A and B are shown apart, each in its own frame.
Chain A
Amino acid sequence: MREYFLRRLLLTIPTFLGATLLVFVIIQLAPGGPLEQQIMALRMAMGGEAAAGGVAGQTGAMIPESALQELRRYYGFDKPILIRYLSWLGVWPRELESYIAVPGRIRNIGEGRQALVEKTPEGYRLIDPATSAPLVGWYVEQQPSERGEERVRIYRTGFSGILTGNFGRSYTYNEPVMHLILQRLPVSLQFGLIGFILSYSICIYLGIQKALSHGTPFDLISSTLVFIGYSIPGWALGAFLLMLFGTQSFVELFPLGGFQSENYEHLPLLEKILDRAWHFVLPTIAYTVGSFASLTVLMKNSLLENLSQDYIRTAFAKGLSERRVIWLHALRNSIIPITANIGYIIGLFLAGSYLIELVFNIEGVGKLSIEAVFARDYPIVFGFTVLAVSVRLFGAILSDLALALVDPRIRFK
């Protein structure tokens, strides 16, 4: 058993790599990606000028090749996609910093360091002017120059990617992505965990009751409600609830969104809790509703199925009480499919809530990333993908673990 889970853990590595590679390739290869966006923006800017000068239609040729090259280098498009992926992961050296220098002149290269490019018969040599020793880890490259003056680009490479904890910097916030995500994770986690606990505790109980009263009015009515709840996406229900209870059009009971009131910091503790709860009601319903229905129905069906098995008939036949048969014999088997869902549901709560956060204007990770999609802030988008993939992977292992716990018959090999 331990070996199984060890192997499962090790297997997450290729899955993680595969999933991130898939996302990486799809996003990078999609026509109109970051590079093309930038080129288009440049063309629009230059095309505007050209159109004013009366040479519209030739706008494509306006960007000088050196600028294009610079752009490609900036976005990493001068390298093959696999190399780009590997350096994004942090297992392939990438350019960390670069400076343009004139050979023979001392150039400051940050952090108080200096560099001097010397011209040698073989090419260029980079030395530290103070010690005259070659600079380790730095490279020199001739730079195309328009005005005939000789220029070189000096740059340093190193390993830096998501495996070294570097998720890149956000274009819009100009802050490390990791920092942004960690900053907003607690908000999302609070909603996710509350929703998760609520839905499991209510659903199991409701499912049991429905199975026991299969076919009764209680079952039919609760089924109807559960199905209605299931059918509508969580965010749409959230928007609907906002319409009903968040505005003056109907009943204004709850805030129109947000995570806490503006004066939250100045409230006494009890009011802080109440304020938080007041903001939590509608989003939590929206969070819970989707998984709520499927869990309840799964629980009910699985218990019903077990109740029609022979071992239940045997248990009844040998005179056990109904309570004992249901709660000890049937329930233990019925809980298995529900348990198998744990990982999926956790993933759903932690990473599937961007639309709800958007509707309720909750400053969580989901809203951050969906806004990043709007703004084409790819570092955040990739960062969120990594987060979502990781949550799902560990959720799947968690499912197996829980499954092994509740079902002793299961022997993972």
Chain B
Amino acid sequence: MAARLIEWRTSPGAPPEASDAQEPTPSLGIYQRRWRKFRSLKRGYFSLQVLTGAYVLSFLLPLLVNNKAIVVRYEGRWYFPAVQSWLVSLPLVGGLFGSDFYSGEFFGQQGNPGECNYRLLQKQYAADGSMNLVILPPYPYSPIEDVTIEGNAAFLAPLERGPDGFPRLLGTDDRGRDVFARMAYGFQISLSFALILALLEYLVGVPIGAALGFFGGRFDILAQRLIEIWATVPFLFLVIIVASIVRPDFILLLLLLALFTWVGITVLIRAEFYREKAKDYVAAALAIGVPRWKVMFKHILPNALVPIITYFPFSVVAGIGALVSLDFLGFGLPPPTPSWGEMMSVGLQHLATGKWWLMLSPMMALFLTLTLIVFIGESVREAFDPRAFSRLR
């Protein structure tokens, strides 16, 4: 605003009154400007592109990394087991689709009443010279198939070929499960978990923090005591204890963590509102009779956005960290859910015997993902910071 005023004053050719004659060039909204600024920050923008791309791609994982075939043509009929498993894996609507299960005998795999082994099926069809056909996903292993399924072996090193001849990108773990597949699926689960967790936190934490900072007084003192109690509890430890007792699933773990993590943003927002409230513009707004909720959310909140925005990526990072820690201890998502924490704990057990890839793979995945998020967070902060161009002098 101030910058535009100065601009008007110093540009002699275009007095403001002239602007209603011709259509003025539309000025950019604050969010457009921030978005532009964000895009100009290469590291963060690139990180966002990579992460978003990977996350969107990860929803196609059942078509890319799966032991089910994408296409099976058997005796003139077409089947799409992987597509079905992809549909089933979709959130919310997944339950509408039928089972993705086909037994081995269904496709003519002799003596296999269990889940069809499509890798063997492909070889079988190729060998018998019929018109039957199997097209496998690019990486034909599922994250949860172990040594009990033919073609898998425990402790394959990266790029080593398993008994079925396919090379394993990142080897297999102690139960013969494919490390690459587990890592890829772990990415989607971890990121989804942390994103939902962060949203839950904000839903609870921001309004509470805003109210506390704005109203202050006795209400604040009382609520502060409760929040203090909440923040004093060693939350991850408590969650570990509870998880060790109740063995939670995805939703329960989410709620359990959200129950304790909302305090973080609350404290930040409270402090911000507390500080902003003392400023003159708030007093002025209140003096001319602007309703208090409007002052809170229309006047103060935009000025308190920087910590809100800055905190979000870091709260996603914290969410992933908490999930990985819980999984590492074996109290996280129920097995055999592919999870980085569980992979690391297996890796740590086999560290002394030189199975380094079991540790390196999930570590790198965690490492890269979290670093990308932090880079995004840092750039977002810079883009939202109105003093972005402040230099030493």
Contacts and interface: CB of A to CB of B under 8 A. Distances in A.
A230 B351 contact: no
A250 B356 contact: yes
Given A15-B229, A227-B371, A250-B356, A232 B390 contact: no
Nearest to A390: B232
A256 B391 contact: no
Contact of B392 (A16, A212, A374, A384): A212
A308 B43 CA distance: 24
Interface string A321-356: 010000000000000000000000000000110110
Nearest to B391: A214
Contact of B390 (A14, A22, A308): A308
The B interface is mostly helix, strand or loop, or mixed, namely helix
A373 interface: yes
Interface stretch (A30-38, A68-76, A133-141): A30-38
Nearest to A387: B234
Interface stretch (B57-65, B192-200, B323-331): B323-331
Name the 8 nearest CB pairs between A and B, nearest first.
A231-B370, A308-B390, A18-B229, A249-B356, A388-B234, A227-B374, A19-B232, A30-B245
B238 interface: yes
B359 A239 contact: yes
B390 A307 contact: yes
Interface size class of B (residues with CB under 8 A): 35 or more
Contacts of A23: 233, 238
A240 B367 CA distance: 10
Interface in B278-313: none
Given A230-B374, A231-B374, A26 B229 contact: no
B30 interface: no
Interface string B367-389: 10011011100100000000100
A341 to B, nearest CB: 12
A389 B351 contact: no
A238 to B, nearest CB: 10
Given A236-B363, A247-B354, A392-B232, A231 B373 contact: yes
B246 interface: yes
B390 A239 contact: no
A198 B348 CA distance: 27
B312 to A, nearest CB: 14
Contacts of B363: 236, 239-240, 243
B347 A243 contact: yes
Interface in B231-278: 231-234, 236-238, 240-242, 244-247
B352 interface: yes
Contact of B225 (A11, A227, A247): A11
A200 interface: no
B360 interface: yes
Nearest to A382: B241
B354 A249 contact: yes
A22 B225 CA distance: 13
B208 interface: no
A385 B234 contact: yes
B349 to A, nearest CB: 11
A92 B356 CA distance: 54
Contact of A388 (B237, B328, B375): B237
Given A236-B366, A316-B393, 18 more contacts: A14-B225, A22-B233, A23-B238, A31-B246, A32-B245, A214-B392, A227-B374, A227-B378, A228-B367, A236-B324, A236-B328, A243-B356, A243-B359, A247-B356, A373-B241, A376-B244, A384-B237, A389-B232
Given A23-B233, A355-B325, A389-B232, A370 B240 contact: yes
Contacts of B359: 239-240, 243
A285 interface: no
